[in-house]
Chains A and B, each alone.
Chain A
Amino acid sequence: MKQMNKIFSFVIPLFLLGGISSCNQQNEALIPYFSYSDTSSNESVKTLLALSSNEVSSLIEKKASFPLFVRGSTCDSCSTFNLYLKSFLNAEDLLLPTMTSAEYSLVSSSLTIDSDSVVFYKEGSILASKTMSDEYYNSKALKSLFFRYGFSTGITIFNSGYIQSEDDYSFLTINDSLTDSNNLTPFDLDDFKGKTLNIFDFDNLSWPDFQEYLIQNKTAFQNVLFFSNEELKKAGLWTQLNVDKTPDILGFHIILTYSLEGLPTLSQSNKF
């Protein structure tokens, strides 16, 4: 659980960031969307991020900006809306926070929601809410709706939690870390300016899986951010990463430019 707390503690700053990942003034008024991927899976897994009422209440209290899909259907498994939602999330590579309407009713200052709806929170306040009526059983209409109120940050979070499949949905499960105000923030993204950022949770990273993932996806990453509170401090892991020196760990993370050819380039920083 302690590890999970650390793993997920970075999600708070992501939600709190608002428009940090773009210099575009227009985006500063919009809600940031993130991506999720899992190097241990051959398929790119797009998920819903399962939040509890306490977590959403905490985010609201901290004046976070985020979209929230409230599932109002009495029967998730027989609703077909998820097909269109998944199609949209896959196409746009987005991670969407979600909860049931019953859970949402426990959130402070929440709306009364009976059927599938999306609520857009901007700095802790409801910017807009939409019931998923017939017109939104269409991935194009969903794209139009989501990008009216938000934008894709280009930040992909890797291996940051447990995927749990339930009916048609795959949920990324967060436990209680979001409600813990004493959680350390593993990094500070305030200086991050609109570059693609790939965040790896090294404590959950399987190095062979990661290598295979890079090869299979023919991927070269820039701005790879490994964070860990445990394993990175062990020198042996740097050998695994082909880094020929043990960095002086000052903070929680390092940044690598990781290419498919040659050794990764290490730069060490607490700031971007």
Chain B
Amino acid sequence: MNNLKTKLFLSLLASSFLCPSCSNSESRIYLTKSENVDSFVMIQDVKELNSITRYGDSLVIVTKSSCHYCDLLYGILSDYISSTHEIIYCIDVLTYSEAYEASDNQTGEYALQYPLIKVTPTFLFYKDGSLKEAYINGVTEAKFSAFMDEKTCPLNYYCLNDLSLVEGKGYYVFDLDEEEDTLSFTTTALDKKIRDLPDAPICFTYRRCPDCTSLFKNVLVSYFSSSSNKLYYFETEPYYLLKNSSDETKKTTGLNKWSAFSAKYHLTDYELTDSLNNPTGVVPTLVRFSSSGYRVAVYSNERNPYLNSDNYLQYQTSFYDEVKKLKSDSKVSDTSSTSASYLKALGELKKKAQSYDASQVSAFLNEANE
């Protein structure tokens, strides 16, 4: 079988050097990991595919059930993921073709997100939510690690959302909520990790949130480049999608669920309330659980900017008191919140606040690892 793998996968790789520190990472895509997987994750439907590819970095391999090369690749992937625990997605070409033929793949913001697939397996590399490369040529088992090093930059960023091994199939699926057809609300892996008192913080994040993207790019990437320590994350997408629903009943359910979730995991330490006057949390929030208790760090999410007596903008609400003391560089000449001077001052203030937040989160991350 190994001989077959080697023979059948035609290699066209140009380089095979290892680069554990992910230098030149801009040319590669970031991959996160899960301690609970030793094989690939199968995408179950178009909605899940969209969530995975549209908002960050991901590797999606389009495969076909009767494809001999795909069968060989599955074995290679399992061997590779068993040792790396990277999250690599596969999708059946029938499911993929629904996304390919969908109207939003023809026009609009997400046009051409999914190219025509003529041959399986095809590797699709997504960076910052856009297709970076569609790789069709085969890869030998011997060169697969080198291929992945060339194309990807794995991070010690570990997912805590629940995954299930599909019996008899040898792959994993994310636990999806049947009603909402998105990530489920289950927290089994998260709760277990907290019980085990991880020697690392947990980042509560939402992949569609610009502040979370900002945290990742401005803080976490540099953290991972200088540290080999683990950081965990929990994707809160189902809560956000539900509480942002246009259906009032669902929205109320979502707000209540999120409030309870926030309280359970201490996101409510940043004292905010939602439209139902429930205590609520924000993302990204990082929580470090230890035997002596827990600590919280929040990135961005300042609220209620106001004009001080000198006509500079300040934030009334922030997780950090120091941020409340920050002022915009320029004065506001027109107090309308849509005026150029107001927007300029707001941009300055937000930048300062994020810079402070970034320094706090960086210190929090490093402190957590001490």
Query: Which residues of A are interface residues toward B (Cβ below 8 A)?
Result: 75, 77-81, 83, 134, 137, 167-168
Contact = CB atoms under 8 A, between A and B. Distances in A.
Nearest to A134: B116
B93 A80 contact: yes
A168 B116 contact: no
The 3 closest A-B pairs by CB, nearest first: A167-B66, A78-B67, A77-B67
A168 B69 contact: no
Contacts of A75: 68-69, 119
Contacts of B12: none
Given A80-B93, A83-B94, A83-B97, A168 B66 contact: yes
6 contacts: A78-B70, A78-B120, A78-B121, A79-B119, A80-B117, A83-B93
Contacts of B116: 134, 137
A8 B117 CA distance: 37
Contact of B118 (A79, A167, A168): A79
A75 to B, nearest CB: 7
B64 interface: yes
A80 B67 CA distance: 10
Given A134-B116, A137-B116, A137-B118, A78 B68 contact: yes
Interface of B: 64, 66-70, 93-94, 97, 116-121
Q: Which of A80, A134, A137, A167 has the most CB of B within 10 A?
A: A80
Nearest to B96: A80
Contacts of A80: 64, 93, 97, 117-120
A251 B119 CA distance: 50
A77 B66 contact: yes
B64 A168 contact: yes
Nearest to B66: A167
Contact of B64 (A77, A134, A137): A77
A134 B116 CA distance: 8
A79 B68 CA distance: 11
A167 B69 CA distance: 12
A80 B100 CA distance: 13
B63 to A, nearest CB: 9
A83 B92 CA distance: 12
A78 B69 contact: yes
Contacts, number: 36
* Chain A binding surface, main DSSP class: mixed
Contacts of B66: 77, 167-168
A93 to B, nearest CB: 20
Nearest to B93: A80
Given A78-B119, A83-B93, 19 more contacts: A75-B68, A75-B69, A75-B119, A77-B68, A77-B69, A78-B64, A78-B68, A78-B70, A78-B120, A78-B121, A80-B64, A80-B93, A80-B117, A80-B119, A81-B118, A83-B94, A134-B116, A167-B66, A168-B66
A134 B119 CA distance: 12
Nearest to B101: A138
A77 B69 CA distance: 8
A29 B120 CA distance: 39
Contacts of B64: 77-78, 80, 168
B62 to A, nearest CB: 8
A24 B116 CA distance: 39
A48 B308 CA distance: 78
Contacts of B68: 75, 77-78
A83 B116 CA distance: 12
Contacts of A78: 64, 67-70, 119-121
A225 B233 CA distance: 67
Nearest to B97: A83
A81 B94 CA distance: 11
Contacts of B69: 75, 77-78
A86 to B, nearest CB: 10
Contacts of B120: 78, 80
A72 B268 CA distance: 62
Contacts of B94: 83
A81 B66 CA distance: 13
A190 B120 CA distance: 46
B305 to A, nearest CB: 51
B134 to A, nearest CB: 13
B114 to A, nearest CB: 13
A183 B199 CA distance: 81
A168 B67 CA distance: 9
A75 B70 CA distance: 12
Nearest to B118: A80
B169 to A, nearest CB: 19
Contacts of B97: 80, 83
Q: Which of A78, A81, A137 has the most CB of B within 10 A?
A: A78
A75 B8 CA distance: 11
A14 to B, nearest CB: 30
Nearest to B138: A78
B99 to A, nearest CB: 13
B362 to A, nearest CB: 46
B178 to A, nearest CB: 27
Contacts of A134: 116, 118
A167 B97 CA distance: 18
A218 B199 CA distance: 66
A81 B119 CA distance: 8
